[in-house]
Amino acid sequence: MSAKRYPSDLTGKEWEVLEPLLPKPRNPGRPRRYPLREIPNGIYVLRSGCSWRMMPKDLLHWKTVYHYFRLWREDGTWGRINRELLKRTRRKQG
């Protein structure tokens, strides 16, 4: 994808936390069509309030990002991510 950076893009440290929480590929022999890291970067629409169809053109196509968003919502990935981040935050705060 484009080298353009957005304030909502994941940092290297954030990606290290998030990557192990994402589902593994169903067909490990076939490479992914898009870098997995680009999917969460595109999901910034939730924070920005922008509609899916108005996503910047230098990000993945909105249908691709929405597909993963919906899939991860339905399979519980977002819940697992939320619980893990909450756990880490509580540990940090003592």
Residue 87 is assigned to a structural domain of this protein: yes
Of 18, 85, 11, 10, nearest in space to 44 by CA: 10
| CA dist., res. 67 & res. 50, Å (int) | 16
Q: Which amino acid is at 39?
A: I
Token pair recorded at residue 49: 């309030």
**At residue 1, does pLDDT exceed 80?**
no
pLDDT, residue 42, reads 81
pLDDT, residue 18, reads 93
- 33-42 pLDDT, tens digit per residue, is 888 888 888 8
pLDDT, residue 2, reads 52
Contact 42, 59 (CB under 8 A): yes
Q: Which amino acid is at 29?
A: G
Residue 13 is assigned to a structural domain of this protein: no
pTM attached to this predicted model: 0.81
Instruction: Count how many domains the chain has.
Output: 1
Domain that holds residue 74: 35-93
| CA dist., res. 88 & res. 61, Å (int) | 32
Residue 78 is assigned to a structural domain of this protein: yes
Burial tier of 16 (Cβ tally within 10 Å: 0-12, 13-18, 19+) = exposed
- 48-82 pLDDT, tens digit per residue, is 888 888 888 888 899 999 999 999 999 999 999 99
Average pLDDT of 77-93? Answer: 93
